[in-house]
Structure 1
Amino acid sequence: MSAPDPDTQSIALPTGWRAALSPDRGIPRVRESLPAIVQIVLAATAAFAFAHYVLGHPVPLLAATVTISSLGLVRDARPRLILGTVIAMVVGILIAELIVMVAGVGWWQLALTLTVSLVVARFFSPQPAFAIAAAIQAAIVMVIPTSVPFLRVADGIVGGVTALLVTALLPRSPLRTVTAEGAEVFAAFDSAVMTLVQALRRGDRQRAERGLEKARGLQAPVDTWRQGIESGYAIARISPFLRRQRTEFERQERIRTQLDLASRNLRVIGRRVVYLSDDNLSRPVAADLLSELAAGARLVADSLSDISYEPAAREAVRAVAARLDPAALAAGRSSVDQNLIGALRPLAVDLMTAAGMPASDARAALPRT
């Protein structure tokens, strides 16, 4: 009995409250967030202790809340974004303090404070989170009054400075997560390519359409990978402990950029495979070439965690690229068949460049047409 086709298999997935309480999802989620949890706990405790024991503030609530809100559990913990959140919250605190001094505390004063905070924050920033952060801190000032004016502004500044210091001195190293995201993108890329390979071998339009759909779905994970790289690089720039990782983030960005281009070229290939599959004829030559390019892409994926795979990846793709002559490989076939072989050429260039080959050398590896 032949093995089942993985493309046609379905599995049961937990939904609703079962999905929310599933250990298979909850435990990895906690494990992924542990560095952020440790960072937040240490930072909030340090901010509270400094404001209370050093500055003598009796209840430095905002020192802790500003720190927690600034850092958050989000993966994108770039210093610039944290600074923006800090500024938003301090602005909200300052507006509330001024209104308390002039108008006192009450329900209409709360409404006025929230209105002014939201309007001012939206004026200065296009980010909705910026305005919400300002409004939350302003509301805290209004509902928990104090006898010392602007004491909570100082607490907010302490919390913000602590958050920025902790980002630099106790950073969340996202390299492992970013590398895992890159591996997931390559796995999705490989799945799309191999589905198109099967379509070419069988002359199966339905399978070709499925491969094209997978190729179109690559953009979202590629963009997520980009955001992770940008965040990691920004943290590595200011952290003395992560500066060595800047080179690795730059290398992953080079790979990501080229894989983004390769994904776009794969969509072009997918559309041509869909068109060609209308005749239900097998195209083993194109299938073999695309399959070999997929094998080279897997080596590029391996190089994410081990750079020593890059030379092997370059040579594997170069060996395919050297044979990509549409006139020779599709002699006697239609112009559409030749165009399909031709569409593999930029894909090969993208993969060679992703593996570290200069773009000029990658283009030179193709036969002249």
Structure 2
Amino acid sequence: MVDAGRQGSDGGTPPRNDRSARTGLAARLTGLRERSVVELRDRGRRVRAIGGLAVQAGLAAALSWLVAHELLHVSQPVFAPISAVSTLAASVGQRLRRTIELIFGVTVGVLIGDLLLLVIGTGWWQLALIVVLAILVALFLVGSAAVMIQAGATAVLIVALSPSVNDLEIPRFVDALIGGAVALLVTAVLLPLNPLRVLNRAARPALDLLATQLDATASALREGDVARARAALTALRENTDQVNALIEATRGAREASTLSPVNWHHRHGPVSRYARVAEPIDRAMRNSGTLIRRAVTLIEDGEPVPESMPRAVADLAETVRLLKRQFAAGDEPLRAREVALRAVRAAGDAYRAGVGFSGAVVVAQVRTTVSDLMVGTGLTQEAANRLVRRAFGELRPPAATRGR
């Protein structure tokens, strides 16, 4: 009898160990290839997302240098381009504030540096004392990290360069003013962002994430698949940064539609609707997390799952998808409201059919999430709550608990 581990030495079937090794190697290579494709795709998206910022930064740096050197005759206008790039490096929606902080921080650094230099002179310990005091004064007056950094950096320049460079203070202040102003000019007039494009790019992944995980939860409830419900909860928890990106994008869109004349017409249309939806979507994401967590417990505990409960969660997912499409098109989200109220009616049917403790929480979270989404469509909180209560129907005790 031939040993199975030795077969294949004379040209027959390869040994089992060799086959396993080759299979494992092929699986690893396939996984590596798939990860590489995903990584390249992510890097490509990242480059496309910040490509406009890179062009803005380059243009702002060049223009600020030209203004300082050619118009104001600053011999070495190093700080103007640095200030311009620093302003543009701020998050979209924070650039006007960053410019003000930049100028204020430079002013504090110049004043503290000059005043103390007159009293204590220059040296290593003087540098340390001046920087500490400049940062503390900036912290006391504003409390912003950007102001503290600018105040400290300017104080360093004043102390370190004053012995060799005369009248450094005014050029430093002028450079900061030029850099910040040119950066705002570039973002507002020369290369303005399209606020709707910014919002759509940020809203799409956040809303897709929420809809996908709610759909997965509906299927998990329908099939009693606890692993799928757990996976949906994990995916939702691990991607909350996407909601933060949407909130930041609404700030950027507001800034772009306020500062840029070519975007003024957006201020009272889709941009304002998106600005309203960011915070309610954040709340809906949190409430959906509670819904999915309770769905996991419901399935684990073997609680009853009325047929209308998965349907309510699926309708909730469809509401989110409709919101995404209607906001992207700039339409009034009337259809999204209809489907949202349909989800509430299904949740009311599930409650009256009989649910357990976790099932009651799932039903309650459907109501709460729909209320958040309705606010996102432009309704007041009071109007949204009134429509949700009416759609839910009678609040009599569930059949499963009646008479206990």
Task: Please give the range of the TM-score, normalised by the shorter of the 2 chains.
Answer: 0.7 to 0.9
Partner deviation per Cα, 1:120-145 (whole Å, 9 max, x = no partner) = 22222323332122222333344444
Q: 2:97 aligns with which of 72, 80, 83?
A: 80
Match of 2:108 in 1: 91
* Contact kept? 2:303, 2:356, Cα under 8 Å: no
Q: 1:345 aligns with which of 351, 362, 367?
A: 367
CA distance in 2, matches of 1:37, 1:97: 35
CA distance in 2, matches of 1:250, 1:129: 28
Match of 1:151 in 2: 170
Match of 1:114 in 2: 131
CA shift, 1:54, in A, is: 2.4
Q: 1:250 aligns with which of 258, 272, 279?
A: 272
Match of 1:188 in 2: 209
Partner deviation per Cα, 1:161-186 (whole Å, 9 max, x = no partner) = 33344444344445423322211111
CA distance in 2, matches of 1:103, 1:172: 48
CA shift, 1:294, in A, is: 1.2
TM-score normalised by the chain length of structure 2? 0.74
Match of 2:250, as an amino acid?
A: I
Match of 1:159, as an amino acid?
A: G
* Contact kept? 1:70, 1:86, Cα under 8 Å: no
Match of 1:6 in 2: none
* Contact kept? 1:44, 1:159, Cα under 8 Å: yes
CA distance in 2, matches of 1:232, 1:308: 18
* Contact kept? 1:66, 1:159, Cα under 8 Å: yes
Match of 1:295 in 2: 318
Match of 2:148, as an amino acid?
A: A
1:1-369 aligned within 5 A: 12=32, 23-72=40-89, 74-99=91-116, 106-144=123-161, 145-148=164-167, 150-152=169-171, 153-170=173-190, 171-217=192-238, 219-247=240-268, 248-280=270-302, 283=305, 284-308=307-331, 310-326=333-349, 330-331=353-354, 334=356, 336-338=358-360, 340-356=362-378, 359=384, 360-369=386-395
More moved, 316-325 vs 235-244: 316-325
CA distance in 1, matches of 2:360, 2:160: 72
CA distance in 1, matches of 2:223, 2:212: 17
CA shift, 1:189, in A, is: 0.9
CA shift, 1:97, in A, is: 4.5
Match of 2:146, as an amino acid?
A: A
* Contact kept? 2:61, 2:80, Cα under 8 Å: yes
RMSD: 3.4
CA shift, 1:215, in A, is: 4.0
CA shift, 1:88, in A, is: 1.1
Partner deviation per Cα, 1:228-270 (whole Å, 9 max, x = no partner) = 2123213322322222222323211222233223223323322
CA 1:100 to 1:259, structure 2 compared with 1: closer, same or farther past 3 Å?
same
CA 1:366 to 1:95, structure 2 compared with 1: closer, same or farther past 3 Å?
same
Partner deviation per Cα, 1:33-60 (whole Å, 9 max, x = no partner) = 2332233233333332222222222222
* Contact kept? 1:349, 1:363, Cα under 8 Å: no
Match of 1:250, as an amino acid?
A: S
CA shift, 1:119, in A, is: 2.5
CA 1:49 to 1:318, structure 2 compared with 1: closer, same or farther past 3 Å?
same
Runs of 4+ in 1 over 6 A off after TM superposition: none
CA distance in 2, matches of 1:112, 1:281: 67
CA shift, 1:219, in A, is: 4.3
* Contact kept? 2:93, 2:254, Cα under 8 Å: no
CA 1:76 to 1:257, structure 2 compared with 1: closer, same or farther past 3 Å?
closer
* Contact kept? 2:308, 2:350, Cα under 8 Å: no
Partner deviation per Cα, 1:188-247 (whole Å, 9 max, x = no partner) = 212321232232123233433333344444644323311221232133223222222223
CA distance in 1, matches of 2:361, 2:168: 74
More moved, 218-227 vs 81-90: 218-227
Match of 2:167, as an amino acid?
A: V
SS at structure 2 position matched to 1:60: coil
TM-score normalised by the chain length of structure 1? 0.80
Match of 2:67, as an amino acid?
A: F
Structure 1: runs of 5 or more not aligned: 1-9
CA 1:75 to 1:328, structure 2 compared with 1: closer, same or farther past 3 Å?
closer
CA distance in 2, matches of 1:194, 1:265: 15
CA 1:349 to 1:13, structure 2 compared with 1: closer, same or farther past 3 Å?
farther
CA shift, 1:282, in A, is: 7.5
CA distance in 1, matches of 2:99, 2:34: 35
CA 1:130 to 1:23, structure 2 compared with 1: closer, same or farther past 3 Å?
farther
CA distance in 2, matches of 1:131, 1:328: 56
CA 1:65 to 1:99, structure 2 compared with 1: closer, same or farther past 3 Å?
farther
CA 1:41 to 1:235, structure 2 compared with 1: closer, same or farther past 3 Å?
same
CA 1:278 to 1:63, structure 2 compared with 1: closer, same or farther past 3 Å?
closer
CA distance in 2, matches of 1:28, 1:240: 28
CA shift, 1:351, in A, is: 3.3
